[in-house]
Chains A and B, each alone.
Chain A
Amino acid sequence: MDVTGEPLTITSQRKGSVHRVVAVGELDLATAEVLQRALLEVDDGAEIIVLDLSGLTFIDSTGLRLVLDLNERYGGKADRLRVVAGSPAVERLLDIVGLRDQLPLITP
C-alpha cells in the first residue's frame, strides 16, 4: 500500500488577536492528521482564525471535511474564521463542490 506523496507542513502563529494556520503541501487522507493536530492547538482566545490554504497542491474530501469542521466551529454566526484559498487545487474544488458561498473566503 503506497501512500507516498508530498507531506503536509503546517505553520501556526499568533499575532495579537489573530491566529494564523498555514498549510503547505498535500491535504488528503494521509496527511489530514497533521492539520488536525495543528487545529487542536488553535487558541480559543484568538478573535480571528485564518486558515491559509494557498500553499496546498492537492486537497480531497478529507481535507475538505477538516475545513468544514473548522467552519462549523468558528464560521457561520461566530464569524471568527477566514479562509485563504489561493491555490488552483483548492479554488477548483471549492467551485465544484459549491462551497464558495459557504466559506468565509478572503484574498491572500
Chain B
Amino acid sequence: MNTDDEPVRGVDPRSTSVDAVLRARDRSLAPKSRLAVAVFIVILGVAAVLAVTSHEIYDHNEDRLLNLRVRELGLVLTAAVNATETPVASAAAFANATEGSPAKFREFAKVYVGPHRQFSSLSLWSPSSSTSSPLAFVGSSPVIQSEPGHAKAMLAATRLGRLAVINELNSSAGPSIGYAFASGDYVAYARQKLLPSRHSRLQANSAFADLNYAFYLGHTRNSANLLVTNASTLPLRGPTASELTPFGSSRLLLVITPRDSLGGTFFERLPWLILAFGLGIALAAAVLTDRLVQRRRRAEDLARSLDHSVAENQRLYAEQRGIAQELQHALLPEALPALEGLEASVRYLPGTQGLDVGGDWYDVVSLEPATVVLVVGDVSGRGLRAATTMASLRSTAVAYAADGDDPGPILEKLNRLVRSGPHDYFATVLCARVEIESHRVTVASAGHLAPLVLDGAGARFVEFRAGAPVGVAESSQYVETTITVGEAATVIAYTDGLVERRGEVLDTGLERLRDAALKAVADPLELLVAHLVEDLLQDENSDDTAILAVRWRD
C-alpha cells in the first residue's frame, strides 16, 4: 500500500564509484611520478659527486703518500750511497798512504771483494802512469783494462774527493757499475756486478715490500740505465714518484709505484661504496617518493570523487525536494469548492528545516444538502513517503465523507486502512461535519488538536476527547462531539506546526492562537488567516503548518 521510496538498486551509469575509479588507476600503467625520478637523479648525482670527490681525495692522498715514501727512500739511498763510497774512498786513501804498495792494497781490498761481498773487483790505478793496467787488483779482472778508452775515461772522470760512478751496464762482461775514487796520485776502482736480469731479490719485509720500484743510473728512465727493479715490466705502470739522489758523479734515480693502496684498501674502495650506497638510497627514496605521490594522488582522487558525490547528492536532494514540493502543491489545491453560505480559507506552509515536505493536509468535501465535511490531517514522518501516504489517507477520507459517513466512522475506517498496511506510520486527523443551516459542527479527532471557534461568545477550543492517531491501535473508538456555533462564527482547524514551539508547553501556543484570533476577529477571513500566520509562525519553522478556516456568511 505504501509506495516504496528506496532508491533503485541497479547500476547508475552516472554515479562515480570511488572504488571503480581507484581500481582503474591501479590497473593502468601509471607513469612513475616525475618527482620520484627527479629525487632518484638528485640523490644519485649527490652520491656520484661524493664518490668522485672521495676518489679525488684518495688519489691525492695516494700521491702524497707516494711522494713521502720516495723521499724517505731517498734518505735511505743516501745512506746506501755512502756505504758504497766509503770503501772505495778508503781504499784510495790507503793506497795513497802506503804509496801504492800493491801487496798492501791487495790485503786491504780482500775484505770488500768476493762473490757475496760488495764488489766483484777492486783495483788500484795510477793516473800518472801511462799504462792502462792497474797497479794491483783483487777479484775478477777489471775488464776495464781491456777497454783502454774506458780506463782513460775512468781515470779522467775521477776528481779529487769525489766518487766517480761509471756506467758499465752495457759491458760485454755483464752489467756492472764502476766506482772510482782518487786520492793523491792513486785511484781506487771498484766494480759492482749487477744481475743480468736486473731483477731484485729484496726481502718481503724490506722498505720496498709494498712498492714496485726501479733504480736507474743517471737521471733518465732509460732501460739502458736500469740498475735493478722488482717489476716484471718496465716502465712502471700506474702513478709513480721518483727521487733523484746524488750518487758520486752521477745520480741514482729511484722510481716507485705502489703495489696496493698506500692509504688502505678501504679508502680505495670508498668511492664505490659511496656509489653503491647512494644508488641504494636513491632507489629507496625514489620508491618512497613515488609511493607518497601515488598515495597523494589517491587521496586527491578520493577527495575529488567525494566532492563529486557530495555535489551529486546535493543536486539529487534539490531535485527531490523540488519534486516533493510540486507534488505537495499538486495534492493540495488552493482552489476550494464553492460553498453555499460558508466561506473558506486555507493555508499550507511547508517546514523549512532543510528536509523534504511533510504530510500535512486539508480537504473540504461539499455534500448535499448544505453539509460540508472538513478534514485536516498530519502524517508522521517527512519526505516523499509521508506525502504519498498522506495522499492515500486523503482519498480514503474524502471517499467515505462523500459517501455520507459520519466523522467517527470515517476515522475508524482510516485507522483500519493504516493498520492493514505495514504499521510504520501514523497520522493525526480531525474530521468535522458542518451543517451550515443549523450551525452545528460535529467533530471527531484522532489525536488531533481541537479546532478554535470564534463567535459572539468569544474564542474557545472545542472540547472533546481525542482518540488515538490513526494507525496506532488495532481498533480505536472515535467519539463524536457536537457543538452549535453562533452567527458569523469562524471555525479554524490547523495542524500542530501552528502552535508548537520548542521550549514551550503546548498550552502556551494554544493561547497564543486564541489571542491572535481574537485580535483579528473583525477582519475578513483571508486577512484573519494571514494575521494568524504572521503572528504565530516564526521565520524558521521546522514543522509544516496547514490552516483551514471556515466562516458562516450571514
A interface residues (Cβ-Cβ under 8 A, vs B): 1-3, 5-6, 26, 28-30, 57-58, 60-62, 64-65, 68, 71-72, 76, 88-89, 92-93, 95-99, 101-102
Contact = CB atoms under 8 A, between A and B. Distances in A.
Contacts of A3: 353, 542
B353 to A, nearest CB: 7
Interface in B428-487: 428, 445-450, 465-469, 472-474
B503 A26 contact: yes
B353 A29 contact: yes
B119 to A, nearest CB: 115
B506 interface: yes
Given A97-B447, A97-B466, A92 B353 contact: no
B378 interface: yes
A1 B469 contact: no
A60 B469 contact: no
Main secondary structure of the interface of B (DSSP, over half): loop
A57 to B, nearest CB: 7
Given A1-B540, A98-B468, A6 B503 contact: yes
A98 B496 contact: no
Interface in B494-544: 496, 500, 502-507, 540, 542-543
B61 interface: no
B406 to A, nearest CB: 18
A12 B255 CA distance: 99
B378 A61 contact: yes
Contacts of B473: 102
Given A1-B353, A97-B469, A98-B469, A29 B542 contact: yes
Contacts of A96: 447, 449-450, 466, 506
B426 interface: yes
Contacts of A57: 503
A102 B468 contact: yes
B423 interface: yes
Listed from nearest, the 7 A-B pairs whose CB atoms lie closest are A98-B466, A97-B447, A65-B380, A102-B468, A5-B502, A98-B467, A98-B447
26 contacts: A1-B352, A2-B540, A3-B353, A28-B542, A57-B503, A58-B502, A58-B503, A58-B504, A60-B496, A60-B543, A61-B428, A65-B381, A68-B469, A71-B472, A89-B506, A92-B505, A96-B466, A97-B428, A97-B447, A97-B448, A98-B465, A98-B467, A99-B468, A99-B469, A102-B468, A102-B472
Nearest to A101: B468
Contacts of B445: 98
Nearest to B510: A96
Interface of B: 352-354, 378, 380-381, 423, 425-426, 428, 445-450, 465-469, 472-474, 496, 500, 502-507, 540, 542-543
Contacts of B474: 76
Contacts of A58: 502-504
A26 B352 CA distance: 19
A61 B380 contact: yes
A71 B473 CA distance: 10
Contacts of B502: 5, 26, 28, 58
A61 B496 contact: yes
Contacts of A88: 505
A58 B506 CA distance: 9
A80 to B, nearest CB: 17
A96 B428 CA distance: 10
Contacts of A28: 502, 542
A91 to B, nearest CB: 10
A6 B504 CA distance: 12
Nearest to A97: B447
B408 to A, nearest CB: 13
Contact of B426 (A68, A89, A92): A68
Nearest to A98: B466
